[in-house]
Structure 1
Amino acid sequence: MANWLHSTLLWMGVNVWNNWRKNFPQIEPDLYGINLNGANLKGVNFSGANLGPAGLFSADLQGADLTAAYLNGACLNRANLSEANLSGALLRGADLTRANLTGANLTGAYLSRADLSTALLRVANLAKADLTGAFLRGAYFTGTNLRGAYLSRADLTGAYMRAANLSEADLTAALFSKADLTAAFFIRTQALYTNFNKAKFTGACIQDWNINSATQLDEIVCDHVYLEYHQKERRPVNGEFAAGEFSKLFQKDFAAVDLIFLHGIEWQAFALALQNFHKEMAGYEIYIQAIEQRLDGAFVIRFKVPCDTNKAQIEKALKLQYELALRDFDRKYSEQLQNQSEDIAIHRQQGANLMEIAKTMANRPIDLKSLTSGENSCIWGLGAGD
């Protein structure tokens, strides 16, 4: 429940509330679950406030400060949040359906599983925002900054994303079916297992984007794309793509390479082998597709590799790196055993020396007079000069 004093101050008006926040900045407002449906809260200072699942349906929060505010599960359906500052705000599972977030600052905001269906996010800043599993169907992202955002498993079906910046964003397994991505930026974007079926890609920049064979590019609507920033490296150089040509050109076909380990796997050595393989064979693109243990105890690791690569060379290189990693681990293990053996010998010698000292001390008579007079500093019959 909301703090009675805090809610009373808020009902006295935004000016009174903001002055109180200014005079007592150390107090974190507790407005948990408060009902502010339809309230006029333009320019309100809710930074760091605990609103929880508050009711803010159709509330006017234009230009409000919601920095790091707690709004998990809040109802912001149809709320006006244009130009509001929501950087670092917690909005997990919040309802922002049809909300107006035009020009809002949502950098680093947490919006996982939030519902922003048909929300207005034109020229908003969502850099590094967490939108994992969010519902964004039909949302308007025209000119929006989504650089480095997490959109894994998000649903952006039919979203309007013209000139949106998706550079370095994680779109793994996201759904962009029928989305308008005209002139959008996909520079170093992760788009593994992403569904772009029937999306519009004309004029998009796909510089160094990362896709795989599971990335769906069926029925893409695309006249041309750019492979470098500032509309450089146009493809096709002249004219337009024919129907289906974009998908054929950029969809990757993969084959399988199986590595069989008859006597089990040293997993640390295997991880090191993969790391070294990527360093030595940087030009090869491989993925682990499956790991299977047979009934006889043998392991089979299946790699997906591009069809146009030398599969025998990749298999040979992987096996070599694993053998080298195994040798390295065996050498380190032998050194550890040797060091442990030396430590044990040292401890045994120290134990023998202590035993001899104990025997010597045990054979000496105890000088009771010295013990009672306190003249000697050693209580076991050893003089100060011994």
Structure 2
Amino acid sequence: MNSYKQDIRNHQYIEKTIARSNFQNSLAGQKRIQKVLIGIFSIFIAAFLSIVTLLAGGVLVTISNVLRVNHFNLIEITAIILYTIALIIFVVRSYEVASVTCVLALIVIGIVIYISFEAKNQRTGIGFWLLCLGLSIAFALVSATIKAFFIAISSMYYGAIGEFLAIVGYGLIAEALIIGVSKIQKENDGDGLITIIAAIPVILAAAMIAKKAIKGSPKFIWIKEAAVFWTSIGGTSFYKADLTDTCFDSSHLPHTDFREANLTRTSFENVTGLEFSRLQGTILENPKVRKLLVNKRGSYEDYTAAKLNGANLKNANLTEAILIGVTALDADFSEATLSGACIQEWNINKNTRFTGVKCSHVYLKCTKQGDRIILSERKPDSGEFQDGDFEKWIDKLQETVDVILRDGFNLRAFGISLAKAAQEHEGLDFSRYSIENKGGGIFVGKVGVSPQADKSAIHQTITNYYYNELYIQGEKANILLNPAGEVEIMESNNQNINADGNVDMSSGNNITVGGNVTNSNLTLADANSQVSNSIQQLRDISTDTSGELAKILSTLQKSITDEPALSENQKKEALEAVETIAEEGKKPSAERGNKLCSMALNALKGIASAVTDASKLAEVFKTYLPTLASILGI
């Protein structure tokens, strides 16, 4: 058994500021007496709720008794087989709408047939059979869920041994209750045997569900979360605590509450037990990120769109890792290895640390084609970064021109103004850009430039072309092209940098978190109508990719419109991005504005950050955005 230098079990640090504390080699969570008491209480609750298992078997027994047929006849055997199949389906699919609907349908149809035809004639038949089958399956599903929950608790406390003992114990409790009830009611042996047979698949299903839940299966994650809550009662709590730069290295931290804690640069190297702790509202909630923070081994792994804000990745091995769209504000990559990593559209800021980073080269673009990953836009273009070169190169990405845009924002006009400005000025790097909503209809467009670029001239050109394009589109009846008093270059002390994607700021409402960047006069219905028209025109072109592109955009349109987590402005912003892609998709590939398409895709990725990973929209974006990028060639 491991020995730990510090015992912080049951300690409460709720909402405390304990930054830069040393909890290295600590033991957290609950003390043994608590585990024993909660375990015993769980057994009693599980035993009491075993009555649900009795009900499942009892309803099956009723079929033979009411229909006045012998046990194990074709009618009863068929019911048992369907009952078992239903439990198997439940283990595979969980409480999906289709599964629950089928069970409810059995009950409702059985009731309708029984009341309409059988009750009047005082004869039971198929209606009663369907009703009993539906009820027995429903009781079995509830019972399996309850038992899975308590098996998961035992597994979290005592591992495989606890899981085995729980399965055997709950099985024996159920069988003892069945036998006891049979004796009290003086049932015949067949009734008790049927009830026991009905209990066996319930126990086995519960064991399999518990194992899936412990492993983090999305279908049963709610069971694990409930069990983690139960096993964390009274344990060590860092709820909303400030743990900035705190060290937990080599500690054992199960049954601990880290919810909404500030984990900026908190070190969890070689920590165990986090999978059984409450981690909501922290970067530890993502199992893949949690594993990286613990073992620091992320070479060749795909961390696309991972949230690494404040992550302590000192000495981490991220060789050839895919870091597309990663947000790593305030993260610490000191002494980490980044050679060959793809940092396309990653988001960092001036507080992201790269001291002593080991990196020979990186890639700014990564295209996924099935199982293949194609890397491009290597930096440096030739040769390798020498010691300290990577950190200096990253620092250069902080150079930006910030353009104030008033009375709303038009994504298409901004993209066109950037493209035209790039033709007239050297040093404009509009592969780095972002839009920040300052409120009151004022937006700040940020564009990357080289240190030697003429910022004032670039600023003036972008502004002029932007408002001129608005005039062409008919959005403004009377345009004054950027009065001299409004030509200003804003300086930011806290820029967030996005390689080959966005440059954003940590203050304000950035487009990447769903800021309002649409025409405020456009209704959601109007935006939907415009998108539908553009998609239909795309379908009518009939090129090699127009059909697939139109299908994907239609799916995105429906998912965006139906997503309840998005505000109306966010939906309009996302639909504008979809429309932009549809308009560009109608053009031959050589004439397409790839940077404009890239901006639209980035806007959609920003919208994705406003919804949970479990939402249908997030799933649609994850499925289709890479394909969309591949079709558009960006």
**TM-score, normalised to structure 2's length?**
0.31
The structure whose Rg is larger is: 1
Greater RCO, CA 8 A, separation 6+: 2
Judging by fraction of residues, say which structure has more helix: 2
What TM-score do you get using the length of structure 1 for normalisation?
0.47
